[in-house]
């Protein structure tokens, strides 16, 4: 198998794009095939500065590796479409010469009307039929002097039966399809032309992409037939959906891979989650490493219908992978998102990681070790109560005699006649400023005796402020 992922550098990497890249990667790895990264930058008006770098960075972060692309020449380059214009020119001249395509000559005013919408695409197609009959030598000379677009002459009175690897059998009536533009007036190819030429020249055997491209199939098949080329096999993946089953959009969900990274999601969780949006093997298993996915993934198990993007499930996946992550790697990720001056150690991380749904959560979870405690009004009133002040005073006395929290708790409760709940609640507030949290025994071990006594005495002093 030779597969490709071909994003456009017109913005961020969409989570749907990452799923498409993932499915291509899994198929390539499973078949011991080749995965190609191709940059589709022919829409020059929509290019975004640094978008290509961002795309490649996010793909690298996700763990998807490419065998060929702008970074690794596999003999099929260039891998940026903007660097292949001479190749496209050679092939659009061939298809014009064979009579399967025709140039349409546009004045500056007509181009302006098309861009502004004064002339619709439908109207332009019908008007351009006058260019279908031509003398090749004459139009070649004319193309050197005038502005033009190139259109594909779609076959008529024909049905295309497309056998999709996901959608199954799909029929297209070519009488209902207008002659598409192949080459724009700026000399750059449209998506349709560049994709077909590049997929053929790069030896792509399987095209796996989103179902929004399914309506393009008749145009692409017609192009392959016009060139006399065998078409690759196609698989069109189901849409990603919001909770209300509308198409996933940034109005209702974050859709940028970079945003999920910035929010503290780890790549393993996002990849596992996206893999299950449209695919599932038999059974109810949900947790998969990348090696598991390579082993079990198949197009036969990809659903035809759309998949709901359930953020709650993504959060649970993220929590699982954080809890089970190698502590060395987790430490690195946490230190990247917490204050530089915090001297975080593995003992602290192990103590709080079960409470984290995101890497970003660690800043709050670890703050008890590094930030001054600020009591809210309710906590202040709790600490100032006579029984709780007695608990604190006796805690200091007993803690100076024994570092065993169990012994200190027992003797303090005996001397103050307090309930266990009163003891633990008071000490936790005094030491952490929180009503709930990790094991106090572990917190005391991390704090050390000096810090414990300092915090308890600070809480005692609140009674005199």
The rounded distance, in Å, linking the Cα atoms of 328 and 332 is 7
Cα separation of the two ends of the chain: 75
Chain centroid to CA 257: how far?
Answer: 3
Q: Judge whether 250 counts as a catalytic residue.
A: yes
The rounded distance, in Å, linking the Cα atoms of 434 and 114 is 64
Chain centroid to CA 185: how far?
Answer: 34
Q: Which entry of 60, 94, 247, 250 is annotated as an active-site residue? A: 250
Cis peptide before 78 (omega within 30 of 0): yes
Do 413 and 439 form a contact (C-beta atoms < 8 A)? Answer: no
Do 216 and 222 form a contact (C-beta atoms < 8 A)? Answer: no
- Per-residue H/E/C for the chain: CEEEECCCCCCCCEHHHHHHHHHHHHHHHHCCCEEEECECCCCHHHCCCCHHHHHHHHHHHHCCCCCEECCECCCCCCCEHHHCHHHHHHHHHHHHHCCCEEEEECCHHHHHHHHHCCCCHHHHHHHHHHHCCCCHHHHHHHHCCCCEEEEECCCCCCEEEEEECCCEEEEEEHHHCCCCEEECCCCCECHHHHHHHHHHHCCCCEEEEEHHHHHHHHHHHHHHHHHCCCCCEEEEECCEECCCCCECCCCCCCCEHHHHHHCCCCHHHHHHHHHCCCECCCCCCCCCCHHHHHHHCCHHHECCCCEECCHHHHHHHHHHHHHCCCHHHHHHHHHHCCCCCCCCCHHHHHHHHHHCCCCCHHHHHCHHHCCCCCCCHHHHHHHHCHHHHHHHHHHHHHHCCCCCHHHHHHHHHHHHCCCHHHHHHHHHHHHHCCCCCCCHHHHHHHHCHHHHHHHHHHHHHHHHC
Give me the active site residues, please.
250
């Amino acid at each position: 198998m030779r597969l490709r992922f071909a994003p456009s550098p017109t913005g961020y990497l969409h989570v749907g794009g990452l799923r498409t890249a993932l499915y291509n990667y899994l198929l390539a790895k499973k078949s011991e095939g080749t995965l190609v990264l191709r940059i589709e930058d022919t829409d020059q008006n929509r290019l975004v500065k640094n978008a290509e770098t961002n795309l490649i960075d996010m793909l690298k972060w996700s763990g998807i590796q490419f065998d060929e692309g702008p970074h690794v020449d596999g003999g099929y380059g260039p891998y940026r479409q903007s660097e292949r214009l001479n190749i496209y020119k050679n092939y659009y001249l061939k298809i014009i010469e064979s009579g399967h395509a025709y140039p349409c000559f546009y004045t500056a005013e007509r181009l302006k009307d098309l861009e502004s919408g004064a002339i619709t695409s439908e109207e332009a197609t019908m008007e351009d039929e006058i260019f279908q009959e031509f003398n090749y030598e004459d139009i070649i000379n004319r193309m050197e002097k005038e502005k033009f677009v190139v259109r594909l002459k779609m076959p008529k009175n024909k049905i295309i039966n497309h056998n999709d690897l996901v959608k199954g059998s799909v029929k297209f009536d070519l009488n209902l399809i207008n002659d598409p533009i192949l080459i724009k007036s700026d000399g750059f190819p449209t998506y349709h032309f560049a994709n077909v030429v590049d997929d053929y020249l790069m030896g792509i055997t399987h095209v796996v992409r989103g179902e929004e491209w399914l309506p393009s199939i008749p145009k692409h098949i017609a192009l392959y037939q016009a060139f006399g080329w065998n078409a690759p096999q196609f698989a069109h993946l189901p849409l990603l959906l919001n909770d209300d089953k509308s198409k996933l959009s940034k109005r209702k969900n974050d859709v940028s891979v970079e945003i999920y990274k910035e929010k503290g999601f780890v790549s393993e969780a996002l990849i596992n989650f996206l893999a299950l949006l449209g695919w599932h093997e038999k059974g109810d298993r949900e947790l998969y490493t990348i090696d598991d996915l390579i082993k079990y993934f198949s197009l036969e198990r990809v659903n035809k219908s759309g998949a709901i993007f359930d953020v709650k499930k993504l959060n649970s996946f993220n929590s699982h992978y954080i809890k089970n992550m190698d502590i060395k790697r987790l430490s690195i990720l946490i230190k990247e998102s917490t204050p530089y001056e915090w001297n975080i150690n593995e003992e602290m991380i192990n103590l709080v990681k079960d409470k984290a749904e995101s890497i970003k959560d660690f800043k709050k979870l670890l703050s008890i070790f590094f930030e001054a405690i600020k009591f809210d009004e309710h906590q202040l009133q709790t600490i100032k109560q006579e029984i709780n002040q007695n608990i604190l005073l006796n805690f200091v006395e007993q803690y100076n005699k024994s570092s065993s929290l169990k012994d200190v708790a027992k003797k303090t409760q005996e001397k103050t006649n307090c309930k266990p709940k009163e003891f633990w609640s008071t000490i936790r507030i005094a030491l952490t400023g929180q009503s709930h949290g990790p094991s106090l025994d572990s917190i005391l071990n991390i704090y050390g005796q000096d810090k414990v006594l300092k915090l308890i005495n600070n809480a005692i002093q609140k009674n005199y402020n």
